[in-house]
Amino acid sequence: MSALIELTGVSKRYGNIKALEAVSLEAHQGEITCVLGDNGAGKSTLIKIIAGLHQHDAGDFTIEGEEARLRSPREALNRGIATVYQDLAVVPLMPVWRNFFLGSEPTIGRGPFARLDVERMRRTTHQALLRMGIDLRDVDQPIGTLSGGERQCVAIARAVHFGAKVLVLDEPTAALGVKQSGVVLKYVTAARDQGLGVVLITHNPHHAYLVGDRFVLLMRGEMAGSYQKEEISLEELTRQMSGGSELEQLSHELSRTDTA
């Protein structure tokens, strides 16, 4: 099966700064590809290229086998790529249904008599959340009253409802506790089970290994490894992400020596 999106040897520079160098990844229908790396590893730059915010300088980026050079997030959405950022870009005081349709509001009536189809938006939001297994009693409550995990889940359900083929998630569990992280990961797998290709950006190897099918490790803008799940253990994934030999060297340097 061909990849929904595929990056091959993609590089990006900002002036003299090398942000990405020869990075490759694939996202397939019904699979989760996890991109792991610490701060400064190049994860944000990679997201911006996939989401259409920035264009790559070298390498190939294909969407369903066709060469792509996205010029805007709207173009990425039109090609079926939805990106959910860590800050979510929601309007806290607006109700859940209004945030769900933000920028895509249906209307009734024509011309100067057109108005928002509020009942349709309320009903559709509730139904879309239920399909993802999210039973939110009141879609009229301000989205700012939801927990961080619940807001992430609404954003995932929104992407599924509006026809995304690829869902890119930017550190969705970074600011969450254990229980809320588990809730979000449950809905990440629900999106996968509905046939989306998911790209999960994270610095948490335990979360990645729970749900991931493929793993791409970044370090200082370069590929540090690429594996399918059966090719690597959680222990080895954690070791490689934490620097592997560099961490072992640091441990040796910090260890006390007996001075008899």
Tell me the pLDDT band of 260, cut-offs 50, 70 and 90.
very low
Cα diameter, the chain:
90
User: Between the ranges 155-159, 197-201, 240-244, where is the mean pLDDT highest?
Assistant: 197-201
Q: What is the percent of the chain where pLDDT is above 70?
A: 93
Does the pLDDT at position 244 exceed 80?
A: no
Q: Is the pLDDT of residue 75 over 70?
A: yes
Domain 5-93+155-254: CATH architecture, name and number where available? 3-Layer(aba) Sandwich (3.40)
Neighbours of 87 (CB within 10 A): 9
Helices 148-161 + 118-131 axis angle, to 10: 100
pLDDT above 80 (res 247): no
- pLDDT tens digits, 11-58: 999 999 999 999 999 999 999 999 999 888 899 999 999 999 999 999
- 90 has a pLDDT exceeding 70: yes
Read off the pLDDT of residues 112-142 as tens digits, 9 standing for 90 and up: 888 999 999 999 999 999 988 888 889 999 9
Q: Which residues of 131-151 are buried (b: 16+ CB within 10 A; e: fewer)?
A: ebebebeebeeebeebebbbb
Nearest to 29 by CA among 59, 73, 63, 76: 63
pLDDT above 90 for 78: yes
pLDDT digits (tens, 9 = 90+) for 178-189: 988 999 999 999
The answer to whether the predicted template modeling score (pTM) of the entire model surpasses 0.85 is yes
